[in-house]
Chains A and B, each alone.
Chain A
Amino acid sequence: MNQNELYQQVILSHNKSPKNFGKPATFTHWAEGFNPLCGDHYFIYLTIEDDVIKNVFFEGEGCAISKASASLMTESLKNKTISDVESIIKKFHDYMTLSQGNLKDLGKISVLSGVKDYPARIKCATISWHTMKQAIETPVSE
């Protein structure tokens, strides 16, 4: 595969201008994800109401693959129920780490499909997804 397929235009533009980037004034759940090996470092902030993700933001620093993946994820998970989100996370994770299934029915997220062929970069794509899973389970303490 040509490396240009890894750095597709959609990925480059999400890296340049990430969606839902920053720390919101209020949120109900959050988590921090850090990969000390490469320095990728992200925070996910969620507002969960009635088991629905009403709002999702992320902030942090990392490579283009990690940032684009986080940006695409926030776009696709907004206004979805927790159970839907959990099954999408599982689908993404299984595809990336176990080569099971595909990302075709996940909309724009499918631009990340090519990452799977670069074992050294899979963690870049999955860090924000792991952090998302953790955020759902971590309400803000009073």
Chain B
Amino acid sequence: MDKNILAKIREDFPILGTEVNGYSLVYLDNAATTLKPKYVIDRLSKHYLYETSNIHRGVHFLSQQATTYFEEVRDKVKSYLHGDSTWETIFTKGTTGAINFVAQSFGSIFNSGDEVIISQMEHHSNIVPWQMLRDRKNIVLKVAQMDERGILDLEHLESLITEKTKLVSITYLSNALGTINPVDKIVKIAHSKNIPVLIDAAQAIAHITIDVKKLDIDFIAFSAHKMFGPTGVGVLYAKKQLLEKMPPIEGGGDMIASVRFDKTIYNTIPYCFEAGTPDIAGVIALGVAIDYINSIGLKNIEEYEHKLLQYATQKLSEIKNLRVVGTSPNKSSVISFVLDGIHPHDVGSLLDSKGIAVRTGHHCAQPVMEFFKIPATTRASISFYNTKEDIDRLADGILYVQSIFE
């Protein structure tokens, strides 16, 4: 991406003009949530100012209009993920909501002793729902290992599969380490034993081109707020053939065809999984976020971010007493590190004093921290609006932190 395009893109994000502690903001916490371009914010505002209405079953103009805009986003999701009519878009509260839904609904047809396989680098949202299912249904939760570079051990994953395995649920891109997992190989391994695969794409969604058809992914979950959309909205994109076996989890309005006290008939897929009034404005704004990414081009984004991550890795590796955590050659958007003798919380506070926003802590991946025997890391995570200057400011900031603790 050339300088002019980058400058123009940065203008789409008014928050980048913010001053923090007397410095212009350097936002490197994109893995927690991305910033929102003004078009997304304007769309939310436009809905509430001029289009407010509830969707479905309304005969008046505003309701039909809102329904059309809302439903269009299912198709935008389909195109973004390169899917077709084999899959269906279900709107959820976020990635966490989507995974919990699969655990509760798909999990309800598991039997005692059935197995779910996850990996050692999962976010808590792809661990805890399965532990809850384990406690409820007495299933077995198995964990595929990774090595000291943060690379998933596929042989170990394969060795965990038995006749009782009902699902493999793995992250596409580790939010704590930046590792890109070989989803194609994971799906091949699982499908060779007829086991469906859930991909947690929370971190991948804004950084990697995802082709559900080519990869043959069964379930994929992501959040709008990590792809420049609003918080509180997410998607489960899933094969209809699997959804047809799954019971609704929440009952209420919108998910029914007819209700009588003696018998209720559920609505069809996907509506039967979307009880209650959803975040209508949020879903419509997610559509705008998808359009926005497409206008820049995910391929361009991938290329630019790859270079920026390489630059950051190079720049940080020149700093003494700094260790990068997660050194897979196949990484995207995340650089996690520790400084000898300085706790990440102190790093985070001191970088903040220079206007640099990073995340410190376990990044909702405590088992990852345990594996590397560290209490926490400092994580810088990039997006396409970040610049080399941002990385230089980060590197200078780290040197400043070290000078304080000398």
Interface residues of A (CB under 8 A from B): 2-4, 6-7, 12, 15, 36-41, 61-65, 118, 120-121, 124
Contact = CB atoms under 8 A, between A and B. Distances in A.
Interface string B354-373: 00000011100010010000
A38 B376 contact: yes
A38 B345 contact: yes
A62 B342 CA distance: 9
A7 B346 contact: yes
B123 to A, nearest CB: 15
A64 B404 CA distance: 11
Nearest to A39: B375
Contact of B349 (A6, A12, A15): A6
Contacts, number: 49
Contacts of B75: none
A60 to B, nearest CB: 10
B404 A63 contact: no
Given A3-B350, A37-B361, A64 B343 contact: yes
A70 B339 CA distance: 22
Nearest to B344: A63
- A-B CB proximity, top 6 nearest: A39-B375, A3-B353, A63-B343, A63-B345, A64-B346, A63-B346
A125 B362 CA distance: 19
* Residues of A contacting B: mostly: mixed
A44 B383 CA distance: 44
B404 A38 contact: no
Contact of B375 (A4, A38, A121): A38
Contacts of B350: 3, 7
A34 to B, nearest CB: 10
A124 B345 contact: yes
A63 B376 CA distance: 10
Nearest to B406: A12
A7 B369 contact: no
Contacts of B346: 7, 63-65
A2 B375 contact: no
Given A3-B349, A121-B345, A36 B404 contact: no
B59 to A, nearest CB: 50
B349 A39 contact: no
11 contacts: A15-B405, A38-B345, A38-B360, A39-B375, A41-B375, A61-B375, A62-B343, A64-B342, A64-B346, A64-B405, A118-B349
Contacts of A12: 404-405
Nearest to A120: B349
Given A7-B346, A12-B405, A39 B353 contact: no
Contact of B362 (A4, A7, A39, A120): A39
B21 interface: yes
Contacts of B405: 12, 15, 64
A121 to B, nearest CB: 6
B390 interface: no
